[in-house]
Structure 1
């Protein structure tokens, strides 16, 4: 419409705004055939701009926009620029235009998708905060269930996801006392919750009321129980394996590009009790094994896989919390520190996406680059006394593990290594098709390699039980149906460091 390449629209803010304005204007011409100076007469165009498939959702989006126009808004951007829209209370939107858009008259999901034991309601998120889709029937599988915390209250989270300004949503919001749950996006649709679109494409997001640094205060037994019931329900519906490669935290999602790593979220944080939660799922059948006499923890073989499994109540760790001032906080935790050498005073390993200069990691609660978490699987690289080395983020990382107390064997783990003759494997964070595999007219998503990460010959990592197909998704527009793009390559999802990464199966053996 404005003669600018899609790649320019993506990175040039001014051209992006021009393109959005041109698209909105095209809808206005279709609906009214005039470019009225009265903002209220653009209500139908704004509703169409939402890309919603039903009148209720389109109307909510447009009402949200006109509420901002009438009441005004001020915001300070990350670059420090102050943006101000003065209030215009005299604007009267022409809501009658909604009927001319030819949309469905009822919302697609009015009944919550929840297990019977939950007190669950459906409150739709703002239409601009998610994408309408037809998972799994369109070939896009749900492979991950992602646990978050809101860093706020239950009601505040619901309100935030209803606000078009936020640009984010989750499928579910869970109250801290376990008494209520709110579904905000249908599971067939794609919520914007993980900060990584490919992960959103294949994930269901669950937000917990609470604050990560105050986890035990907010994460109650009732909340664990209610959330576990929901996860089991979803896992059965979508055939999601109940293990920590598929039931993950936001802090296990690698950002889509290295530049985004410093801003990557770390919730639900060190105090979400994965041991308790996965036990409620009985995800790894621990109860069955314990009934059969338990499992040996001291048997650690180099080249074999182990599961990180410190006892939550006994695994006391110290972190530094800096909000608003810095203080040390020592209490039971779900993680172990990873060090450069097998001794307690050795520096913490450096994550090069966070610290390109290779400086040591820290014990700050939001410094996710130097820790492993309960339930994650790694390959043993070495042992020395009370310490076990694992292949971690492209290097040997040492965890304190006397007599194997903090790990257990993972004999069924699927281990991947560089293919014979290959010097290294490329590390990614998504699994998109190649550019040539996209239909003409659809922009290809970038399969960005984390060049700062290494996976050389001699190292090994644990992968999910089955590879995933390269794929991408484009929601329906007024001129075409939704499009699923599938490539001919497959990827393994591996436990690379604290976060998951993807590697091309053509490069591994």
Structure 2
């Protein structure tokens, strides 16, 4: 492919292996990619060279352009499946008339469609296309054109603020804040801060399109915030929330029917879990739903996709009805993410991951929550409380939530340690590489509230999960779950079939090894997953391996209430019967990561017969174990720790 050599100032590029690295402060010629956005130059990825070309063309510091793209998309190509109709690696926005008319991708479920139509921040794509005299369709679909248009848009912001396009990246702070599209100062500043943090620390990634992209660090860089006042941003953050100070956090209390007033943890109820959800609606629709007493549910927090703004709907101290399991609600905080599980890779934004990590890190430190995947869990990991509710439990945030990246942001990486598999009886952590772990799942219209899916289709995308099978073969049936699949039928690859997968960070005990396949104890069965050279696992550390105390199976539970005799007079005892189709068989082993917790229950004050709340702590204790894709509870008296 034809290439042209251009001289650039202030930035240079050099090749390391197959990756072009951007560095600051040097003037040298750089080989630029051809106009074909799929092309590759001398050792550099096509996308890396697209950034170099666009930065040179619009006189935007390349590190600024790349860091903005990293925060918008992690350099992945978006296709409009997010709240702001973001396209391309630069997530230029284009909420079109058809989206508003049919509720399709980007606008599904929104209650503010008329306001969206007039919001300039949701039409940056068309504005950017005009700046480079390109068809809007090309900016949506062609990576090179998308990056060029975004660079021109950034440059136009900088010219309006500074009068020119300075070579010093520090001078671009206010323009970056404007690029966020947020009218709130806290949110816009937080976006700019993350962009500049990315430039300071550097970043590298293989994108979901297989492109290697790397940004060299600039550790001495400090953003110049002096131009922020010229943006005339609003101050909408509120102080009556439990959020860390650095987040743009507002309060919108849920209807009192959707939570219970408590005083956690001062009243004895420990907060041990954080549950990650997605809304399957827009941000505002989720908040509105929580304020509707008829909905019956609310999470503690809601996280917006476009800029990471947070709304707290239920105070940490109170019990939000979010997980479909009352006992787990008692001991957890729920965080909803604007997004759709079927389109997770293009809905869950970098700003969501980073702001949620800020929030979870803060909450974990405050409430002493373990940072592992038995305590930082998805809604899809929550156990059904009783037999009749197991099969209908939710499957969000689904296979496209990047647990590897998220846990790494928490300082608890899923792949910490040595890749491989230890001897039978030792534990492994599931740790596939997200970008390269391409998994195919069937997505049907019922799984996709955006309306973008009109027929059941196979969708291949980067995933956090691996399929588990009945034998060490890619043609062996997927594992059958007695609650999900009737009459022992094989499991399915439907995206909502949570019962046939393991996901990143989960930990299991090795049951066997055969060639490229590893067997684990899972859901009372010996199941197999593809694991060539141990690439999809690391040897687990600091875990408790449990086996049954005797020769009979130990019962398993979804909730853990005290014995009836332990309830005070006048209070009816809650019952948590053992599952009838799940058990912990003798001879198998499962992983726990924390000491057993007390069986307990809670009755809120009702102002009449109970003027004060009542917390009941039983004498019995239960371990939380990783049983299958979901957690389960096992009485500590029935198992032995090894």
1:164-217, Cα deviation, whole Å (9 max, x unpaired): 110100000000023410001010000000000001000000000010001122
Aligned partner of 1:482 among 594, 613, 616: 613
2:500 aligns to what? 370
2:635 matched to which residue of 1? Answer: 504
Q: 1: CA distance between counterparts of 2:486 and 2:548?
A: 24
- TM-score of the aligned structures, taking structure 2 as reference length: 0.60
Q: Is the 8 A contact 2:441 2:494 kept in 1?
A: yes
Equivalent-residue separation in structure 2 for 1:203 and 1:274 (angstroms): 19
The Cα offsets for residues 298-352 of structure 1, whole Å up to 9 and x where unpaired, read as 3421000000000000100000001142111001000000000000000000111
* In 2: Cα distance, 1:144 partner to 1:176 partner: 23
State the match for 2:436 in structure 1.
314
Matches within 5 A, 1:104-503: 111-284=240-413, 295-323=417-445, 324-419=454-549, 421-479=550-608, 480=610, 481-503=612-634
Give how far 1:279 is off: 0.6
User: 5+ unaligned residues in a row in structure 1: which ranges?
Assistant: 1-108, 290-294
Mark the structure with the bigger radius of gyration.
Answer: 2
Pairwise CA distance, 1:296: 2.6
String of CA shifts for 1:339-391, please: whole Å, max 9, x gaps: 00000000000111112411100000001111000000000000000000000
TM-score (norm: length of structure 1):
0.76
* Separation of aligned partners in 1, 2:437 and 2:308: 30
Which residue of structure 2 lines up, in the alignment, with residue 50 of structure 1? none
Kindly state the Cα deviation for residue 422 of structure 1 after the two structures are TM-superposed. Answer: 3.7
In structure 2, do the counterparts of structure 1 residues 319 and 110 end up closer, same or farther at CA, with 3 Å as the change threshold? Answer: same
Q: Distance in 2 between matches of 1:221 and 1:463?
A: 30
Residue 167 (structure 2) aligns with: none
SS in 2 for 1:263: coil
Q: Gaps (5+ residues) in structure 2?
A: 1-237, 446-453
The aligned counterpart of 1:49 is: none
Question: Shift in Å at residue 477 of structure 1?
Answer: 1.6
User: Hey, what's the Cα distance between the residues in 1 that align with 2:266 and 2:401?
Assistant: 33
Q: CA RMSD in A?
A: 1.3
Contact 2:547 2:587 in 1 (8 A): yes
Q: Deviating runs (4+, > 3 A) in structure 1?
A: none
CA distance in 1, matches of 2:384, 2:357: 26
Distance in structure 1 (CA, Å) of the matches to 2:486 and 2:604? 37
Aligned length: 393
CA drift at 1:392: 0.2
